[in-house]
Amino acid sequence: MSTVLSKVQAILKKIDNYVKGKLSEDEKDQLWVELCTSEELIDCLELELLLSHWVKMHE
């Protein structure tokens, strides 16, 4: 179970880095491959993008 949790945490970190513009093109491609395996992960990306946009609007 902890392996699955570690994998999810790693993907969430990649999503965070993607939103912050910290991933290389290869890392972005790899992330999209991972995201395509789970609708829930796509939802996490959408939420992260919306929150990031909201924060920028309220600074």
- Which pLDDT tens digit goes with each residue over 15-54? 999 999 999 999 999 999 999 988 999 999 999 999 999 9
User: At residue 8, does pLDDT exceed 90?
Assistant: no
According to the model, what pLDDT value does residue 1 have? Answer: 56
Query: pTM, whole model, 2 decimals?
Result: 0.83
Please give the structure tokens belonging to residue 26.
Answer: 């290869």
Q: What is the DSSP string of 23-59?
A: --HHHHHHHHHHHTT-HHHHHHHHHHHHHHHHHHHT-
According to the model, what pLDDT value does residue 5 have? Answer: 83
Closest by Cα among 42, 38, 51, 36 to 15: 42
